[in-house]
Amino acid sequence: MRIDVLIEYDEKLSEVTFSSKTTQYGETRPARIGLSRFSNDDSGHEMIEFVGEDWEFLKNVHDLFNAEPSRKGWILRVVNPFESHTFEPTPMFQMVHHFSLFIFAKYYPKSWTWRKNIPFITTYDLTMKIPGYNFFNLQKKTEFEKLLRDKFKNISFVA
Question: Per residue in 34-51, pLDDT tens?
Answer: 888 888 877 778 888 889
If asked whether residues 107 and 158 sit together in one domain, one would say yes
- How many domains are there within the chain? 2
Q: Which residues span the domain enclosing 102?
A: 1-29+85-159
Query: According to the model, what pLDDT value does residue 133 have?
Result: 86
Residues 6+ apart with CB under 8 A from 149: 155
Domain end marker among 79, 95, 113:
79
If asked whether residues 73 and 144 sit together in one domain, one would say no
If asked whether residues 43 and 120 sit together in one domain, one would say no
Residue 33: how many CA atoms within 13 Å on its side-chain side? 24
If asked whether residues 72 and 98 sit together in one domain, one would say no
Residues 6+ apart with CB under 8 A from 54: 30
If asked whether residues 158 and 96 sit together in one domain, one would say yes
If asked whether residues 67 and 116 sit together in one domain, one would say no
Query: According to the model, what pLDDT value does residue 70 have?
Result: 77
The interaxial angle of helices 89-107 and 138-151, nearest 10 deg, is 30
Domain end marker among 54, 79, 104:
79
Q: Which residues of the chain have pLDDT under 70?
A: 159
If asked whether residues 36 and 25 sit together in one domain, one would say no
Query: According to the model, what pLDDT value does residue 64 have?
Result: 79
Domain end marker among 45, 64, 79:
79
Number of CB atoms found within 10 A of residue 68's CB: 10
If asked whether residues 25 and 41 sit together in one domain, one would say no
If asked whether residues 38 and 64 sit together in one domain, one would say yes
